[in-house]
Amino acid sequence: MSERHVVIVGGGQAGGRVALSLREAGFQGRITLVAEEAHPPYERPALSKGLLTGEAEPDTTLLAPAAHLAQMGVALITATRATELDAVARRLLLEDGRRLDFDDLVLATGARPRRLVPEGAAGPLPVLRRMDEALALRERLRPGTTLAVVGGGVIGLELVSSALARGVRPVLIEAADRLMARQVGPAASAFIEARHRAAGTELHLGRTLRRIDPRSLDSGPGVFVLTLDDGTAIAADAVVAAIGVVPDMALAEAAGLACEDGILVDAEGRTSQPGIWAAGDVARAVVPWSDRPERQESWRNAEMQARRVAASILGSDPAGDDLVPGFWSDQLGQRLQSEGVCAGTEIVRLSGDGRFAAFHLRDGRLVGCTTLDNPKLATLARRAIGRGLEIDPAALADPGGDPLRLLR
């Protein structure tokens, strides 16, 4: 009998973690990881933060050094796209004509940035998702220049923060009337907005980019002139679109796997096809905190879902499993942490030292929490959310109370 062969498509957090977890759990069969990018599996969070400011370098973002992967017996195929999946014959075709026969297949293909092609542009605006895009942008962030960012979510705001740290003047355009509208509650949005305005970011909320033109002689400095829907003109030296992502599920869809805004999977990461699994940004999974399958675009989800898939492949229990959704974002020298979901009632609390926290309560239970520079509170909130802690909203909001004690 031939060795069991696990093939992983995707060289991000989820793909890399499946490979490492399988080996750490003692899997003896073959593992092949196919990555579209030229790099071994790496963690993306630094791409909009340390890698742009120069505090991180490509090799510090790797999940494991390439030599370590080789030592662990993970065959790495980089800079190669998987082009066709035959779910019945259990075969994957690569763009260079190679054919991989598998016993188990893990789809960790991630997501692609939404493209934005404004009037006047020759093609889609630059985006930030991949290592090479981050390195190219780093070269363009020269002190004294202006960067225009379209999109006021996590990536857009981290881009703006990194630009400020490099002496670049940021301008941000967001279609919604508040920042991070998908990720935090209105009070947290307002707090974040005030901080960004104070730091010197020019914010245009509730506005969209209508067109982009090369600089004309009378438009002042900058390489481009951006025109917003209200006629405002902005000169900028570089432009990035950070307006969200769409799951990269073409391979799965063409193979007939059940997909709907993501590859549909159960709580363990099983797709509609036995022996084919999905994890990370591309997977839309059954989760305990929602009555419909959810797709999560976070480091934690990629990490935890990958561990669950590895454990499911081996028929064991995942180690260090954590089902509470969460993410962090470094902005303007502060660390924002979100735990749970920002649904229900938002209760704001400012501690004596001015640190912000917002709690989300539904049916008397803590379901979410957003903190700034308060990692202890975030950690306790994650655990309290996980066990469905019932909590008195008045006690939480009480400025004299101790939220750390309430959540223990």
CA nearest to 328, candidates 363, 303, 361, 349: 303
Among 213, 253, 268, 322, binds another protein (CB under 8 A): 322
For residue 135, CA distances in Å to 46, 113, 132, 306, 335 come to: 11, 17, 5, 27, 23
| Piece of the chain touching another protein by CB under 8 A; list 17-25, 232-240, 355-363, 385-393 | 17-25
Phi-psi region of 240 (alpha: psi -120 to 50; beta: other; left: phi over 0): beta
Question: What is the residue type of 15?
Answer: G
Residue 289 lies near another protein (rule: CB under 8 A): no
* Position among 6, 11, 15, 17 found at the interface with another protein (CB under 8 A): 17
| 3-class secondary-structure state, position 201 | coil
Q: What is the distance between the alpha carbons of residues 241 and 151, in angstroms, rounded to a whole number? A: 7
Rounded to a whole number of angstroms, the minimum distance from the CB of residue 64 to another protein is 6
Q: Which helix (H) or strand (E) segment is 67 a member of?
A: helix 66-71
Closer of 224 and 299 to another protein (Cβ): 299
Phi, psi of 331, deg, nearest 5 = -135, 130
Q: State the Cα–Cα distance between residues 298 and 278, nearest whole angstrom.
A: 15
- Pick 24 or 119: Cβ nearer another protein: 24
With binding defined as CB under 8 A, does residue 4 bind another protein?
Answer: no
Binding-site member from 8, 14, 20, 249 for another protein (CB under 8 A): 20
Residue type, 136: A
In residues, how long is the chain?
Answer: 408
Contact map string, positions 325 to 364, toward another protein, x by CB under 8 A: ---x--------x---------------------------
Among 231, 315, 320, 352, binds another protein (CB under 8 A): 320
Is 382 a residue that touches another protein (CB under 8 A)? yes
Q: Which of 375, 390, 398, 402 binds another protein (CB under 8 A)?
A: 375
> Residue 35 interacts with another protein (CB under 8 A)?
no
**Angle in degrees, 0-180, between the axes of helices 186-199 and 154-165, rounded to the nearest 10:** 20
Q: Does 300 participate in binding another protein (rule CB under 8 A)?
A: yes
Under the rule (CB under 8 A), what is the footprint of another protein?
17, 20-21, 24, 63-64, 299-300, 303, 307, 319-320, 322, 328, 337, 375-376, 378-380, 382-383
